[in-house]
Amino acid sequence: MAVRGSLSAPAVATVSCVAPADVVTSHPVVEAVFAHHGGAVAEDLTTYRNHVYRGLTYQLRLLGRNDVSNDLALAWAVHDLGIWTAGTFDYVPPSADLARQHAAGVRVENLPLVLEMVELHHKIRPVEDPHVETFRRADRIDVLAGSLRGHLSRADVNEVTKALPYHGFHRFLLRQATRNFIRHPLRPLPMYRW
């Protein structure tokens, strides 16, 4: 899907949280992407928005950081967006395409890293790069509702989900997986990478 117009982002490359423990609930890059694609996401926007910010918060905590770079924000904003924009459960390639299309408009510093985070966020085996690995783990923490949380505590997950409730996120995932399984029984989870 071609991106029409351009996204605007602040000239500053990062947005700082007050402390590493803070829950990230807004970022200009994420909001610009949502403003651009909100119509495609439609009634699932709150569900996806909260997933993005929960994952971003978990990643920052895993990294021990409190600043949100435009690179992290863009990767989180688009990582699953292809579900809606391309209408497929094999959404990683279209989501990576969205990162490429939006990169210049949001001033990312390291597009190859953004693409790697998006493309490998469902990789089964660990990844060496700490940004990619923490992205992968943070997404897994949220998808599994904190049942596998790595170095994060149950209190971390509870704090984040209290600020950013699931709003049917897991029901949405189950619906999408079931539809895909019916259509493609030999490839039920196409987004996973070995």
pTM of the model: 0.80
In a domain, 175, yes or no: yes
In a domain, 127, yes or no: yes
Q: What pLDDT, on the 0 to 100 scale, is given for residue 44?
A: 85
Q: What pLDDT, on the 0 to 100 scale, is given for residue 124?
A: 78
Compute the distance between CA of residue 47 and CA of residue 170 in angstroms, rounded to an integer: 9
In a domain, 68, yes or no: yes
In a domain, 9, yes or no: no
Q: In total, how many domains does the chain have?
A: 1
Compute the distance between CA of residue 90 and CA of residue 103 in angstroms, rounded to an integer: 22
In a domain, 99, yes or no: yes
**CATH of residue 40:** 1.10.3210
In a domain, 167, yes or no: yes
Q: Are 106 and 149 in contact (CB under 8 A)?
A: no
Q: What pLDDT, on the 0 to 100 scale, is given for residue 158?
A: 94
- Weakly modelled stretches of the chain, pLDDT under 50: 1-20, 180
Instruction: Using the structure block, give the residue that is written with the tokens 């699931």.
Output: 166
Q: What pLDDT, on the 0 to 100 scale, is given for residue 38?
A: 87
Give Cβ neighbours of residue 86 (< 8 Å, ≥ 6 apart).
1, 94
In a domain, 76, yes or no: yes
In a domain, 51, yes or no: yes
Compute the distance between CA of residue 129 and CA of residue 127 in angstroms, rounded to an integer: 6
**What Å distances lie between residue 93 and 19, 20, 98, 150, 191, CA to CA?**
34, 31, 9, 27, 9
Q: What pLDDT, on the 0 to 100 scale, is given for residue 191?
A: 58
Its domain, for residue 147, covers 25-183
Q: Are 129 and 150 in contact (CB under 8 A)?
A: no
